[in-house]
Structure 1
C-alpha cells in the first residue's frame, strides 16, 4: 500500500471527484479510501453523481442536449460552490481562532508572560529538600534521636563531594545528617537563625552542571530558596510563608565564589 507523505483531507476527496489530482496523489487517495469504507462510500456517491451529470449532458449519439446540459451544469456548479463554501467556512473558522488568540495575547500583554514564568515548577531537588526538612523537624521533636552538632564541612566534602557554603556567624548548627535522595547522598543541616528561626540547609549533587541564582519558592507548608553553583545545588527551607529567604541564600552563594 502506498503511504501518503501528506495527510489526506476532504479537499483531496473533492479534487479526486473533479479529476484535478495528478496520478501520484490519486493513488495516495485511493490507498487511503481502501482502508476506510465510510469515506470511500461518500466518494463513490459523488463519483456516481458526477457521471450521471455528464451522461445527462449528452444526447443519444453523444451530442449535447442543450436544456438538460444547461440544467446539469448549473447543478454541477452548485455542488462545486457548496464544496468551495464548505472549505471557505473551515478556513474562516481557523482564521477567527487565530485572530482571537492574537487579540487575547495583545490584551494580556506582559501579564501572560509573568503567569507562565510564575507557574514554572522549582527543580526536583527542592522537593527532596522539603522532605528532608520535615524529617529534621520530626527528629528534633524526638528525645530518642540525638542531634549531631559536630559540623565538619571538610569531612562532608571528602565523603560526598559536596562543598558546603560558609555559614553566617549568627547561625547556630543544631543537627547535621546525611540523607538519601533521588540524586544520591544529600546533606541536611539544621540551623537556628535570628531572622528566620529554625530552618534547614539542604545540599545535593543533582547530576547536572548549572548556575542558578537564588530563587524563592513557596508551597503550602514551607518556603524555599534554591540555587546551584556548578555540580552542587542548595536549598534553604523554613516553615510557613517566610519572606526574604532568597537574601539569606544569596549570602550563602557568595561564599562559594
Structure 2
C-alpha cells in the first residue's frame, strides 16, 4: 500500500471527530480509516460518545441553556484531542516560559530550576541515572575499562532514538556509554564543565510521554536534576557540586533540545 503523501495525524483524527475538516481532507481521513480498522474503531467510539453527549444534553432555550450546550460541545471536542493536546499544551507552555525568560520568586537564577519543585518525588529514571553514575565512577577507576570520549550524536539518535543536548562551550566529554534500560537503550555521559566540575548526564526512554521542566531531585548520595521532553528523559548527577549550579546547568541543557 502506497503511503499517503500527506500523512494522517492525531490532529486530523480529532478534527474529523469534531466535524471541522474540509471535504478533501475529510475524504483523506476516511480513506485512511478504511485501510486502518483499529484506528477506525477508535474514531467510531469517539463519534458514538459525542452522539450520546448530544442526546443527553440537547439545546434548551435561554442563555443558560446555550452555555450548557456550549460546554457539552467543548467536552465532545476534547475526547480525542486529550490524547495529544495536553502534551502539546505543556510543550507550548514551557516554550513560552523560555521565550519570556520566566524568573519567578524562588527560581535558581536565569534558566535555572525552581526550589519550589525540588521536593517532588523524582521519577524512576532518576534512580537509573544514579546507578549509571555509580557505574561510570567504577569504570573510571579501572585501568582495564578505558574511557571513550568519541561519540557521534547523530549515530546515537539513530541507534537509540535519544537526542542528546548541545553542551555549553568549554564543556568536555570524558566518557560515553550505552546501557540497557527497561524501555530500550540509555546513554550515560561523563562531562566536565568549564569550571572543571564533573557531571554525569543520563538519557533514556522511560516508556511514557510527558513534558517535565528541569527540576532538582532530593539530596542524597549525589545531587540530581532532571527533566523530560516527550518520550526521552534526562538527568544530571553530580557529587559535591553546588545545587544552584546543577539546576542552572539542567535548565540550560534542556533548552537546547527545543
Q: TM-score range by the shorter chain?
A: 0.5 to 0.7
Aligned position for 2:252: 251
Aligned position for 1:47: none
Instruction: Trace 1:155-194 onto structure 2 (pairs within 5 A).
Output: 155-194=155-194
Partner Cα separation in structure 2 for residue 120 and residue 218 of structure 1: 8
The two structures, once aligned, show a CA RMSD in angstroms of 1.8
Following superposition, the deviation at residue 207 of structure 1 comes to 1.1
> Cα gap change, 1:147/1:136 in structure 2, threshold over 3 Å: closer, same or farther?
same
Aligned position for 1:27: none
Following superposition, the deviation at residue 221 of structure 1 comes to 1.1
Q: Is the 8 A contact 2:160 2:185 kept in 1?
A: yes
Following superposition, the deviation at residue 220 of structure 1 comes to 2.1
Q: Secondary structure at the match of 1:143?
A: coil
Q: Is the 8 A contact 1:221 1:240 kept in 2?
A: no
Instruction: Trace 1:209-228 onto structure 2 (pairs within 5 A).
Output: 209-228=209-228
Following superposition, the deviation at residue 255 of structure 1 comes to 0.7
Following superposition, the deviation at residue 197 of structure 1 comes to 1.1
Following superposition, the deviation at residue 196 of structure 1 comes to 6.3
Following superposition, the deviation at residue 181 of structure 1 comes to 2.0
With the length of structure 1 as denominator, give the TM-score of the two structures: 0.52
Q: Deviations over 1:156-209 (max 9, x none)?
A: 000000011101121100000001123321000111113461111000011111
With the length of structure 2 as denominator, give the TM-score of the two structures: 0.52
Q: Secondary structure at the match of 1:233?
A: strand
Partner Cα separation in structure 2 for residue 194 and residue 124 of structure 1: 30
Aligned position for 1:66: none
Instruction: Trace 1:229-240 onto structure 2 (pairs within 5 A).
Output: 229-240=229-240
Aligned position for 2:109: none
Following superposition, the deviation at residue 118 of structure 1 comes to 6.1
Confirm whether residue 242 of structure 1 aligns to residue 242 of structure 2: yes
Partner Cα separation in structure 1 for residue 117 and residue 146 of structure 2: 42
> Cα gap change, 1:182/1:163 in structure 2, threshold over 3 Å: closer, same or farther?
same
Q: Secondary structure at the match of 2:233?
A: strand
> Cα gap change, 1:191/1:121 in structure 2, threshold over 3 Å: closer, same or farther?
same
Partner Cα separation in structure 2 for residue 151 and residue 204 of structure 1: 17
Aligned position for 1:22: none
Q: Is the 8 A contact 1:218 1:241 kept in 2?
A: no
Aligned position for 2:81: none
Structure 2 regions of 5+ residues with no counterpart?
1-115
> Cα gap change, 1:227/1:220 in structure 2, threshold over 3 Å: closer, same or farther?
same
Instruction: Trace 1:113-128 onto structure 2 (pairs within 5 A).
Output: 120-128=120-128
